Chains A and B, each alone.
Chain A
Amino acid sequence: MTTATVAHDDHAHHGPPSGIKRWLFSTNHKDIGTMYLVFALIMLFLGGASAMVIRAELFMPGLQLVQPDLYNNLLTNHALIMIFGAVMPAAAGLANWMIPLMIGAPDMALPRMNNLSFWILPAAALMLILSFIVPFFPGGGSQINTGWTLYPPLSLQVGMSMDFLIFALHLLGISSVLASINIIVTIFNMRAPGLRMMQLPIFVWAWLVTAFLLVLVVPVLAAGITMLLFDRHFGTSFFIAAGGGDPVLFQHIFWFFGHPEVYILILPSLGVLASILPTFSRKPLFGHHSLIGAMIAIAALGMIVWAHHQYTVGMSLAAVQYFMLMTILISIPVGLIIFNYMMTMWRGAMTFETPMLFTVAIILMFSFGGLTGVMLAVVPADMQYHDSMFVVAHFHYVLLPGAVWGLFAGVFYWLPKWTGHMYDERLAKTFFWVHVVSFNITFFPQHFLGLAGMPRRIADYNIMFTEFNMISSVGAFFFGLSHLLFLYIIIKTVRGGEKAKARAWEHAEGLEWEVDSPPAHHTWTTPPKIKTA
């Protein structure tokens, strides 16, 4: 591991400009990171609100609250806001805050582009929200009832709100591609002298791999939705069967982006765990190099398995066999990461502060989601599970622990660094338990529902599914409410609390703990000296 001799002194000869200008024109990685995180938190509550309506509708069979079109509009909106509005910006927020601190850089390599890539987001979010709202106005056309996958021919028949959505996705894509380019250049060029690539913390590596994935696949999504736009307005027939096109082609293009996107969501969070585990296990991270290799392997394999999302479209046997085997192969590098993390804890002097609690829960729950993923990868089994609630349970078990909890853990871990205050450990532990238990109450029954045959994306269901749906909905309401506690803890920590030391956690390692808590507006203007062990 790398250690640094303390080599910083706060010559904050100019602080940030005051008022709104500080945020609007900011080129400071810390301020932009904060804005990303705040934006993601707002989106988390928006996306969560739509999920609450979905679960309220599913509390009982029949249609109570919302009509099927609105229901499908809500779940489209829920997915897109959570993926593009909450998880990706939150991960980008962590990257902005932590990567320069971790590699001893004074800022991101391209600070003005950093500003641009953040400020595209609110505009994109506005378009995304408009795509949800527009159908409620006279002449607004039909609602987006396609789900986040936007499959034609249905997406060709949706009204103008689909155009809002397509442009929102274009903007979100531009934002994340710019952010990724910035991160790659920063990691390649801005490391403190003597800090070699293989010495970089796993979080930095995770983001490097993620950024490359984003650069590779987001443009493909942009191409796909551009073709959709052309089909809708300019008389082309990329996806119109009557004009010689093929709707299945869109599914291939979409999932060529969509499957790597899953790893884009998960890898940064898995990287966060690699920072947390050694701190609270009081042992160095197990298998630093193999973790880097595993992440690269996941990214590479993740790009060539997309069609396992569409086993049922009628591919040839050879094709589904290939996609099945490749998909199952991914469980090897993922398993390697899990085992490395377990070996880090093995015989460590562990304590269970909130970030560590989340980490342990992630290793448990994410593995569980991974196992149902292997079930879904098996073609004959998937023919049964396809488009059922089992799939919904599976990807929530992967994405909540794998992506969201990792971000929560990172926020709790680095909050003392950002704010200079320790958070309220008792409240945070309460949040953890309510959150994790209600998560399981919400999503575990959905496995049974799916296996019993309840389809996803439908507002109504057979009365035989009532009990499990009621349990799931009750769990979901507690789950949703628990986030208010999370918000309260953050606000409380920002406003005050026990003073945090520079090294906020007893055994925390890494350059980010060499600067003050909170860090000065500009850090590492003199690069740290790297000693190699």
Chain B
Amino acid sequence: MERQPDARRHPHGRIVLWLGALVIGMFGFGFALVPLYELYCQVAGIPTVDQQRALNVQAAAGTGEVAEDRWVTVRFDTTVHPSLPWAVESQERSMRVQPGEMHEVIFVASNRSSRAVTGQAVPTVIPWRANDFFNKTECFCFQKQTLEGGERREMPLRFVVSPALPDEVTYVTLSYNIMRLDDTVAKVTE
């Protein structure tokens, strides 16, 4: 209209374009947080589930002598997701073990529904810094488990607590979250 165009200022379109690019860039950044988060976990030393598995195997291979003068209490805990019609219990609630010694504990899983259901156990070790020193040599959590309708199965867990476990740790809790694997999730994990 009558307004004098100010020569120093940019056309509207160019600023809108820049801001639009910023918006799209930030939308992309949201997705980029997925790999960035993984990278951050690596740098900060927080292992992902896969890396934890590899660490376990690696550390387990190196166990040699038994720490005769040390006892650690290992407690077992299971939580079954409500969508999974299973009951899972360990035969022993807790064990006193010596670091370096191999132990076995049986978990009993039963399918309370009449159909075959597949589930996957995801382990967590508490306290977190004990994570690297708790080595599972055999675990039902390494694979997905399919139970037929009404089936009851004994699933073994074999583990060694590494003698390198920090001295102040006297209790270790192994907690399993057992989740249902339906078709969509099963495809991803394969």
Beyond A253-B30, A314-B128, A316-B44, is A237–B185 a contact (Cβ under 8 Å)?
A: yes
Q: Among the listed A189, A193, A256, A525, which residue makes an inter-chain contact with B1, where contact means beta carbons less than 8 Å apart? A: A525
Partner of B30 from A106, A224, A314 at Cβ < 8 Å? A224
A10 to B4, CA, bound (A): 19
User: Is B120 close to A, CB under 8 A?
Assistant: yes
Please tell me if the beta carbons of A220 and B1 are within 8 angstroms of each other in the complex.
Answer: no
Contact of B22 among A106, A109, A215, A238 (CB under 8 A): A215
A249 x B34 contact (CB < 8 A):
yes
Also in contact, A243 and B185, with CB within 8 A (given A106-B1, A252-B37): yes
Q: A188-B10, A235-B187, A242-B120 are in contact. Are A181 and B19 (CB under 8 A)?
A: yes
Instruction: Give the distance to chain B from A315, nearest Cβ to Cβ, in Å.
Output: 8
Q: Is the pair A193, B6 in contact by a Cβ cutoff of 8 Å?
A: yes
Could you tell me which B residues sit within 8 Å of A by CB distance?
Answer: 1-4, 6, 9-10, 12, 15-16, 19-20, 22-31, 33-34, 37, 44-46, 48-50, 83, 120, 122, 128, 177, 179-181, 184-185, 187-189
- Chain A residues with CB under 8 Å of B181's CB are 242
Q: Which residues of B contact A109 (CB under 8 A)?
A: 12
**Which residues of the other chain, B, contact A220 by a CB distance below 8 angstroms?**
26-27, 29-30, 33
B9 close to A189 (CB less than 8 A): yes
- Residue A270 lies at the interface, judged by CB distance under 8 Å to chain B: no
Q: Which residues of B contact A65 (CB under 8 A)?
A: none
Give the secondary structure class of B's interface: helix
Interface centre among B2, B83, B122, B185 (most CB of A within 10 A): B185
- Name A526's contact: one of B2, B27, B29 (CB within 8 Å): B2
Binding site for B on A (CB under 8 A): 106, 109-110, 157, 177, 180-181, 184-185, 188-189, 193, 215-224, 226-227, 235-238, 240-244, 246, 249, 252-253, 256, 314-316, 318-319, 525-527
Q: Which single member of B19, B23, B33, B180 contacts A256 (CB below 8 Å)?
A: B33
Given contacts A188-B10, A189-B9, are A242 and B179 in contact (CB under 8 A)?
Answer: yes
Can you identify 24 A-B contacts, CB atoms within 8 angstroms?
A106-B1, A177-B23, A184-B15, A185-B12, A185-B15, A185-B19, A188-B10, A189-B12, A189-B15, A193-B6, A215-B19, A217-B26, A218-B26, A220-B29, A223-B31, A227-B30, A235-B185, A236-B188, A237-B185, A240-B185, A241-B179, A242-B189, A246-B48, A527-B4
Bound CA span A256–B27, Å: 12
Closest chain A CB from B34 CB (angstroms): 6
Of all chain B residues, the one with the shortest Cβ separation from A188 is: B15
Which residues on B sit within 8 Å (CB–CB) of A215?
19, 22-23, 26
The answer for the CA separation of A253 and B180 in the assembled complex, in Å, is 26
Contacts of B185 in A (CB 8 A): 235, 237, 240, 242-243
Kindly report which residue of chain A lies nearest to residue B185, judged by CB atoms.
A243
Known: A181-B20, A184-B15, A242-B181. A219 touches B26 (CB 8 A): yes
Report the bound CA distance from A227 to B37 in whole Å.
Answer: 15
Nearest chain A CB to B141 CB, angstrom units: 11
- Report the minimal beta-carbon distance from B60 to chain A, rounded to whole angstroms: 22
- CB contacts (< 8 Å) of B29 on chain A: these are 219-220, 223
Taken together as a complex, chains A and B put the C-alpha atoms of A417 and B48 apart, in Å, by 59
Assembly CA distance A224 to B26 (angstroms): 11
| Assembled-state Cα–Cα distance A217/B26 (Å) | 7
Contact (Cβ within 8 A) B49 A244:
yes
Q: In this complex, what residue of A is CB-closest to B180? A: A242
CB-CB under 8 A from A223, the residues of chain B are: 26-31, 33
Name the CB-closest residue of A to B187.
Answer: A235
Residues of A within 8 A of B184 (CB): 235
Q: Does B188 lie within 8 Å of A237, measured CB to CB?
A: yes
Q: Bound complex: CA of A226 vs CA of B189, how far in Å?
A: 21
Q: In chain B, what residue has the closest Cβ to A239?
A: B34
| Docked-complex contact A252 and B19, CB < 8 angstroms | no
With contacts A215-B22, A219-B26, A241-B177 known, is A316 near B189, CB below 8 A? no
Let me know if A527 and B3 touch, CB within 8 A: yes
A214 to B22, CA, bound (A): 11
By the criterion CB–CB under 8 Å, are A242 and B31 in contact?
no
Of A177, A242, A318, the contact of B122 (CB 8 Å cutoff) = A242
A181: B residues at CB distance < 8 A? 16, 19-20, 23
**Are B37 and A219 neighbours in the complex by a CB distance under 8 Å?**
no
Closest 5 CB pairs of A and B: A223-B30, A219-B26, A235-B184, A219-B27, A243-B188
Closest Cβ of chain B to A376, distance in Å, is 23
Using A220-B30, A222-B30, A256-B33 as known contacts, list a sample of 20 further A-B pairs with CB atoms less than 8 Å apart, ordered by residue number in A: A157-B83, A181-B16, A185-B12, A188-B10, A189-B9, A215-B23, A217-B26, A223-B27, A223-B29, A223-B30, A224-B30, A235-B185, A235-B187, A242-B179, A246-B48, A249-B33, A252-B37, A253-B33, A316-B44, A525-B3
